[in-house]
């Protein structure tokens, strides 16, 4: 479960026009993946931390939107997908959606976007996460992880927080995964997956 620390995201100035098309993100090395999407990673983490709906909408995939998954098992049938138009006002939207079920208990997760992101997205300050990785998951638990199967062409970024007490890491860790796919030479956010230890 533990993984050696990876470099923190570094903003790259590589223009989108220099990105070869198409690129299968999962086939890239960690270094190649970081070079392509690190600036998008930083922008996404910043938008989530500041609860900036407009910035988040601008980062979303123009045709696929963004799928939100509360645990590493991605359900294409049940997970909520929000398009750019939905995200633009998401933090002030009072609509309650069913985002999935709680792992281990089976209770439906019925929350507004603002409340959902507080619990299942920005549950820690992932901009300050001590471990990050590209195209290699860090946090693993009891949930089946099918992220790679659902997003075969995406670049994966993961921010991992072991929790405040080192001796309790196995039950206190949390992670945030961001998935990016290419469209017309640029990389856009298509998935936000939360991870944590579950019973």
What pLDDT score was predicted for residue 197? 83
How far are the Cα atoms of 14, 16, 111, 123, 161 from residue 172, in angstroms, in the given order? 37, 38, 23, 12, 9
What pLDDT score was predicted for residue 22? 60
Residue with tokens 């931390």: 49
CB neighbours of 192 closer than 8 A, spacing ≥ 6? Answer: 66, 67, 68, 69, 121, 176, 177, 178, 179
Which residue stretches of the chain have pLDDT < 50? 1-21
- Give, as one character, the DSSP assignment of residue 8: P
What pLDDT score was predicted for residue 103? 82
For the whole model, what pTM was predicted?
Answer: 0.86
What pLDDT score was predicted for residue 172? 84
What pLDDT score was predicted for residue 168? 83
CB 92 within 8 A of CB 164: no
Using one digit for the tens of pLDDT, what is the confidence trace for 89-129?
999 999 999 999 998 788 999 999 999 999 999 999 999 99
Domains and CATH numbers, the chain: 39-196 (3.10.450)
């Amino acid at each position: 479960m533990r993984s050696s620390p990876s470099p923190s995201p570094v903003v790259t100035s590589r223009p989108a026009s220099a990105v070869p098309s198409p690129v299968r993100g999962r086939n890239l090395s960690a270094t190649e993946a970081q070079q392509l999407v690190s600036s998008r990673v930083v922008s996404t983490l910043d938008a989530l931390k500041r609860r900036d709906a407009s910035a988040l909408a601008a980062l979303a995939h123009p045709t696929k939107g963004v799928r939100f998954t509360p645990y590493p098992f991605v359900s294409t049938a049940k997970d909520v997908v929000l398009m750019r138009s939905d995200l633009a006002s998401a933090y002030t939207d009072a609509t309650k959606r069913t985002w999935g079920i709680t792992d281990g208990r089976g209770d439906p997760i019925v929350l507004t976007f603002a409340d959902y992101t507080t619990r299942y997205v920005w549950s820690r300050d992932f901009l300050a996460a001590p471990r990050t990785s590209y195209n290699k998951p860090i946090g693993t638990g009891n949930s089946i992880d099918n992220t790679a199967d659902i997003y075969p062409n995406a670049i994966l970024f993961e921010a991992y927080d072991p929790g405040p007490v080192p001796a309790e890491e196995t039950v206190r860790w949390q992670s945030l995964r961001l998935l990016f796919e290419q469209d017309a030479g640029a990389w856009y956010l298509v998935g936000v997956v939360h991870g944590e230890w579950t019973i």
